[in-house]
Chains A and B, each alone.
Chain A
Amino acid sequence: MSGLLKKILYIEDEPDITAIATVALETVGGFDLKSCSSGFQAIEEIHQFNPDLILLDVMMPDLDGPSTLTKIRELEQFRDTPAIFMTAKAQPDDIKQLKAMGVLDVITKPFDPMTLSKQINQIWENAA
């Protein structure tokens, strides 16, 4: 992982969270954002978007966050693309299990739209 964080693939099934995250990441953070409403859509569109970072929700219908990440990791080109989970589950065991998947960090919801991009930049820089 190196360089400036520009392109974020954001996977979240809830439109209201996507709407506010779009404001937080595009308008406030200035990132190039591609939002997908499901893990399946993300897997279809990841090649074309070629993100620097994958930011994904944990609890989604059909294909949840961990399963989505596992499938993305099976794609050779994105095997090592850094990822961050977002979750409203703050139980230590849940966080530990998510971190065990090799993600950069786990951001707990609710998030502050004014500081989300700063938080992500911080995680990115710490991992560099």
Chain B
Amino acid sequence: MGERCLTAAIEKQKMSKGKTVDLDEMLNQLKQSFLSELPERCDQIESHILQYSETHNHNDFQEAYRKVHSLKGSGGTYGVGIISTICHQLEDLLSELNEQRQDYDNEKFIDHCLAYVDLARQAAQFALNDSDNFEAIEQQLEKLRNEQTKNELLGIIIESSSTLAQVCTSALKGLPVKIISINDGLLALKRLLEEKFDFVIIGGKSLKGLNGKALVAAIRCSESINKDINIIAIRSSDNSNDFLNEAKPNMVLMKDKSLADQLKQTIRSNML
């Protein structure tokens, strides 16, 4: 969205001061502008990715990453969750490059990135045509993720303690497992409802947004692709009975000095 839309929105607001404002209409107009200008933003992201693939200039990488990251936030704020989901996956993919888990010269990697950008374009077109049925896009997204994480499990750790999250992430290093760490229950639920994961690790400690018990209940009651996902709970003094009784995790690990080994063993024996 360019400056003109912002100016229009602000001018409209000034004119409406003291009058009844139709917020829904205002927000809808902003959403339409966002969607109509989204292909232009996709072109910019694509251009940075292509430039990066040729020059390996880190500035191009950073600019592509920043634009994807910001589109992720905008998509959700404008109520077009599918754009956020696509950008989330693309951002994760770009992060792998940054963490040197991907080869700079990997053509397939660049193709994957560009495929995500194309999906974002298609999603914008669907949304502009007033369609909220993104099933076809979701299927393509799932296919892309599977290609990208071939032979690799994707797990999500939902935990407010960054130390515990780090222990779990480190424990799984060396295994064909990719871990995403989130400390906000509501954001975690959003991702679990939209993206396919292979397992969840949850500590049950108080989370921002939504507590662990409610989060697990919401996933189990949902019709999402993660409805029957394996849930690994980490038992601590804070969540001993209440959380475990209600959440009914598939596996329970003790939070003690052997946690890293327990987790590694559990993933190896049950999922790989």
**Stretch among B4-12, B124-132, B135-143, B243-251 lining the A interface:** B4-12
* A16→B182 contact, CB < 8 A: no
Query: In the complex, what distance in Å separates the CA atom of A28 from the CA atom of B84?
Result: 24
Output the residue of A28, A96, A109 with the most chain B CB within 10 A. Answer: A109
Q: Is A77 close to B, CB under 8 A?
A: no
Chief secondary structure at chain B's binding surface: helix
Question: Are the CB atoms of B23 and A28 closer together than 8 Å?
Answer: yes
A91 interface hit (Cβ, 8 Å): yes
A78 to B182, CA, bound (A): 32
- Kindly list chain B residues whose C-beta atoms are within 8 Å of the C-beta of A1: none
Chain A residues contacting B165 (CB-CB under 8 Å) are 92-93
What are the residues of chain A within 8 A of B6 when measuring CB–CB?
Answer: 15-16, 18-19, 22
Q: Are A16 and B1 in touch, CB under 8 angstroms? A: yes
Kindly state the separation between the CA atoms of A113 and B21 in the bound complex, as whole angstroms: 14
Hey, which chain A residues are within 8 Å of B10, CB to CB?
19, 22
- Contact status of A88 and B72, CB under 8 A, knowing A19-B30, A22-B10, A23-B13: yes
Q: Does B187 belong to the interface (CB within 8 Å)?
A: yes
In the assembled complex, B73 has its CB within 8 A of some CB on chain A:
yes
A110 touches B75 (CB 8 A): yes
Give Cα A9 to B156, complex, Å. Answer: 35
B162 to A, closest residue via Cβ = A92
For residue A45, give the distance in angstroms from its CB to the closest CB of chain B. Answer: 16
A17 near B: Cβ within 8 Å? yes
Contacts A18-B6, A59-B70; A23 near B26 (Cβ below 8 A)? yes
Knowing A17-B77, A19-B30, A95-B183, the reply to whether A26 touches B13 (Cβ < 8 A) is: yes
Interface residues on A, range: 20 to 34
Task: Say yes or no: B3 contacts A15, CB within 8 Å.
Answer: yes
Chain A CB within 8 A of B230 CB: no
Residue among B5, B21, B69 with max Cβ neighbours from chain A (10 Å): B69
Query: Are the C-beta atoms of A22 and B9 separated by less than 8 Å?
Result: yes
A92→B159 contact, CB < 8 A: yes
Residues of the A chain whose Cβ atoms lie less than 8 Å from the Cβ of B30: 16, 19-20, 23
Q: Is the CB of A27 within 8 A of B3?
A: no
| B9 neighbours in A (Cβ, 8 Å) | 19, 22-23
Knowing A15-B2, A19-B5 are in contact, say whether A111-B77 is a contact too (CB < 8 A).
yes
Complex: how many Å from CA A14 to CA B66?
11
Residues of B close to A109: CB separation below 8 A: 72-73, 76-77
Within 8 A of A (CB), among B70-102: 70, 72-78, 84
Q: Complex: how many Å from CA A23 to CA B63? A: 28
**Bound-state Cα–Cα, A21 to B72, Å:** 16
Cross-chain contact A20 with B77 (CB below 8 angstroms): yes
Q: Shortest CB–CB separation between residue B149 and chain A, in angstroms? A: 19
B34 close to A (CB within 8 Å): yes
A67 within 8 A of B: no
**Per-position 1/0 for A34-71, Cβ under 8 A of B:** 00000000000000000000000001010000000000
B78 pairs with A108, CB closer than 8 A: no
Is B194 on the interface with A (CB-CB < 8 A)? no
Q: Which residues of B contact A13 (CB under 8 A)?
A: 70
Q: Which of chain A's residues have a CB closer than 8 A to the CB of B26? A: 23, 27
CB pair A90 B13 closer than 8 Å: no
A-facing residues in B164-179 (Cβ within 8 Å):
165-166
Given contact pairs A19-B5, A59-B70, enumerate 5 new A-B contacts (beta carbons under 8 Å).
A16-B30, A16-B34, A27-B21, A90-B184, A110-B74
Sorted nearest first, the 10 A-B pairs with minimum C-beta distance are: A110-B76, A109-B73, A88-B73, A16-B1, A92-B162, A92-B183, A110-B77, A15-B6, A19-B9, A19-B6
